[in-house]
Structure 1
Amino acid sequence: MTIALNRRQTLLGMGAMGAAAALGTPALASSRNMAVLHLGSHAPSFIAWERGYFKDAGIDLNLRFFEAAQPMAVAIASGDADFGVTAMTGGLISLAQKDAVKVIGGALIEKPGSPGSLVLASNKAFEDGLTDPSQLAGRSFGITTAGSSFHFMAHKIAQANGVDLAEVDLRPLQKLGALVGALSTGQIDAWAIQPSIATKLLADGAAQQIGTVADCAPNYQVTTAFTSTGNAANEGELVTAFVAAYSRAIADYNAAFIDRTAPAEEVDELAAIVHKYVETDSPAEVAKENLINGAQRINEGLALAEDSIIEQLEWYKSEDMVDQSVTREQLLDTSYVETI
């Protein structure tokens, strides 16, 4: 899929990078922070930072690490971070209603036939008969928190398989590391997670695959790019420069790990960059293999699957996790990217 930058994005991005090149200093000089997670899905964040794409675009940007999606949204709202790329959450939607954050683009997306998130069962549960998502009733399913993307995925998996979500024992364990440990030791029966983590669990013999999220939720926009409402409304050059820089890294990532059109030395270089932040306790070759096997396409140009975002918004409303009055306009600013 090839998505062109819109006119505003292209012109402003070129202006920011051109000024930086001409002056030899960032066009947007004040220091900024980007909220990130130690996940392979954040590979473009690491690539853009390590390769200097943010500096090329005139942004003095630093990476700030978090353990879950919702605290990232809080950091954007409070001004502790300027940008984030992570999943939709009830917390993010509530902050958008308060005019604190805006979704400005899309990243990971689930599409049948493409690499994506896997539904996993613990070895214990698998041996006890949990071999298909249709058997989740009466079983425990791991999530980070109520209102998280994992909660929404549990809903989509249950819905697609004719299971009443009320019959699934949702276990909020707060952090990704806790979920990995709980599944590996049989403390929870099932979980759904991006392939960068799932493939490692499978390779280690710590879990069993029982399904895919794409089969249950086709065209699900898993992660989004977001910033503060103030940035979106008043810092157009900054936001456009960020989108342009991040888009360069997405192109590198897709070429190396999805389309496989990049030369071998480029793949090695990008894998080494990501290994600084992901699976740091694994040998470099193992981490590289897991990154390749667990890669998932990221929308070029941060294009946004708007219908999926609206579906998620309406589900959060239906579950009374967010106020019924939240509007599309409060949540989204689609002026910086294409919608698909």
Structure 2
Amino acid sequence: MLISGCSNGEEKVDDSMSDENPSGDLAPLSKEVKVLIAEDGAASGAGFYIAKEKGYFDDYNINVEFTQFANSDDMLPALAAGEVDIAGGVSTSSFFNAIAQGIDVKIIADKGHYVDGNSYFSFVIRNDLEDEIKDYSDLKGKKIAVSSQNAVDDYIYHEMLKHAGLTEDDVEFVLMSDFGNMLAAMGNGTIDAALQIEPLITQGVEQGIHTRFGDATDFAPDAQIAMVLASPVFLNEEEDVSLRFMAAYLKGVRDYNDAFIKGEGKDEIIDIMTKHTALKDPALWEKVAVTGLDPNGEMFIDDIKKQYDMYEKNGATRGEFDFDKSIDTSVTEKAVEVIGKYEEEE
């Protein structure tokens, strides 16, 4: 939903440097544009929240608004139709099926991956099993809760089984869609292990219910958990807007990395995260494992393909998913050229 005098190229602006923009890179748009983002307060939306609160969108004369959808079945058609400009998505068989069957959305940038050795989405085991379960192979015969099937959670679970040298028949799979219920089930001994998510991982550790077990990067270091999705209308007909949007988004992501990886400006970023997400306790933000967000927007595309291959093998896909058509990182790459590549510290 774009409201702008520059729609369809009618008032294209010069992409040259401009002193009118405090960032000194791209000139602001000649008229304010509203960009609608489907975002539900997930921590992986940090780049959006930070860019909004720190004025990076304002620098380009972009006004972002957030909206929520009950489920992706409603969100994806709205995104494809241009009723929503940007959204977050996770890998599921239904996501791929929707696109394969004509719901045209583009996968454009990273919105969530693992941080090496400190994953925000990883396995936990009951505290009373710590002496019994020392290695992944020791999960044989145990009840393991996972939140979904033929989705990224299921993919991570199966990557763990392969790493452990186990088969599906060696463990008891427990489908439990609510992560909060996993915590309760762990507390009453109904399950032995779970693929759990922050902040519930940290909360369960502090309550003495479970303990982190290894780390998901032990067996899935390059897992792509979530992606930034875009309307093709937004990308193709509003090139000036989408480029500036992505530049602002990546600046927000870089501030996030500076805060949680380098420890720079952390208090300010935590304030923003408590404002926009369900995790309202600043002290807990100091303890949780945070979502990995690539400061250059780069994704693990080969891993997305591996996830799809698993769903296809399971007979959960319908139609043929065209990766070359659906993954379009061109606006992200151009934004990096404009603002400069972020170099990770060794």
Query: TM-score w.r.t. structure 2 length?
Result: 0.77
- How far apart, CA to CA, are the structure 2 residues paired with 1:94 and 1:59? 33
5+ long unaligned stretches in structure 1: 1-10
Q: Percent identity?
A: 23
Could you say what secondary structure the match of 2:273 adopts?
Answer: helix
Structure 1 residues 144 and 330: CA distance shift in structure 2, 3 A: farther
Could you say what secondary structure the match of 2:191 adopts?
Answer: coil
Structure 1 residues 127 and 61: CA distance shift in structure 2, 3 A: same
Equivalences for residues 1-340 of structure 1 within 5 A: 18-20=26-28, 23=30, 25-26=31-32, 29-39=33-43, 41-65=44-68, 73=76, 76-77=79-80, 81-97=84-100, 98-110=102-114, 112-113=116-117, 117-123=121-127, 126=129, 129-260=132-263, 262=264, 266-280=265-279, 282=281, 284=282, 286-290=283-287, 293-323=288-318, 325-338=320-333
- Greater alpha carbon shift after TM alignment, 65-74 vs 101-110: 65-74
- How far apart, CA to CA, are the structure 2 residues paired with 1:214 and 1:193? 14
5+ long unaligned stretches in structure 2: 1-13, 337-346
- How far apart, CA to CA, are the structure 2 residues paired with 1:118 and 1:295? 12
Please report how far the alpha carbon of residue 305 of structure 1 lies from its aligned counterpart in structure 2 after TM superposition.
Answer: 2.0
Q: Deviations over 1:279-327 (max 9, x none)?
A: 5454x3x23323xx42343211211222122222222211222136222
Structure 1 residues 64 and 206: CA distance shift in structure 2, 3 A: farther
- How far apart, CA to CA, are the structure 1 residues paired with 2:188 and 2:86? 35
Q: Deviations over 1:37-81 (max 9, x none)?
A: 433x33323212322323333432222346877775566346564
CA contact (8 A) 2:41 2:277 kept: no
Considering fraction of residues, name the structure with more helix. 1
Please report how far the alpha carbon of residue 248 of structure 1 lies from its aligned counterpart in structure 2 after TM superposition.
Answer: 0.6
Q: Deviations over 1:190-223 (max 9, x none)?
A: 2224454423322232211222110111222222
Partner amino acid for 2:111?
Answer: A
Please report how far the alpha carbon of residue 104 of structure 1 lies from its aligned counterpart in structure 2 after TM superposition.
Answer: 0.8
Partner amino acid for 2:57?
Answer: F
Partner amino acid for 2:285?
Answer: K
Partner amino acid for 1:299?
Answer: D
Query: TM-score w.r.t. structure 1 length?
Result: 0.78
CA contact (8 A) 2:82 2:233 kept: no
Aligned residues: 315
- How far apart, CA to CA, are the structure 2 residues paired with 1:274 and 1:62? 16
- How far apart, CA to CA, are the structure 1 residues paired with 2:303 and 2:168? 20
Could you say what secondary structure the match of 1:36 adopts?
Answer: coil
Query: Rg larger in 1 or in 2?
Result: 2
